Structure 1
Amino acid sequence: VQQIRRQEAAGAVADLSAVDYGGALVGGLAFPFLLLPVFGLLQGALVVGALNVAVAGLLAGWLFRRSLRRRGRVAVAVATVGGLALLGGAAAFAEPFEVTARQRLYRYPIVHAERSRFQEIVLTAAPVDRWRSRDVRLYLDGDLQFSSLDEYRYHESLVHPVMAGKHRRVLVLGGGDGLALREVLRYSDVEHVTLVDLDAAVVELARTHDWLSERNRGAFDDDRVEVVAADAFTWARDYEGEPFDAVVVDLPDPDSTETAKLYTVEFYGIVDRHLAPGGRMAVQAGSPFFAPWSYWSVVSGLEEAGLTAVPYHVDVPSFGDWGFVLASRGPAPPALDISQGAPELRFLTPAVLDASRVFAPDRIPDEVEASTLLDPVILDYQRREWVGY
Structure 2
Amino acid sequence: MDIDDLQKISGLDTDDMFGMVFTWPKLIEKINHQSIDIPSQISVGNKFLEYNNEISNILICGMGGSAVSGDYIRTYFADSLNQPIIVQRNYILPKFASKKTLVIAISYSGNTEETISGISYAIQNECPTICIGSGGKMENFCLGNKVPFFKIPAGFQPRASFPLLLFPILKILDALNITKLDDKVVQEIIQNLKQMRELIRPQTPTTENQAKQIAKKMHKRIPVIWSPYLCVANRFKCQINENAKQLAIAEELPEFNHNHIVGFQSLVKDNPFIVICFRFPSEHANVSLRFEISKEIVKPKVELLELQIQSGNLLVQLVTSTYLGDYISIYLALLNDQNPNTVDSINFLKEQMEVRGQTQSSLMKKLDQLSRS
* TM-score normalised according to structure 2 size: 0.29
- The one of the two structures with greater contact order (alpha-carbon pairs below 8 A, sep at least 6) is 2
Q: Report which of the two structures shows the higher radius of gyration computed on alpha carbons.
A: 1
TM (normalized to structure 1)? 0.28
Counting helix residues as a fraction of each chain, which structure ranks higher? 2
Higher share in strand: 1
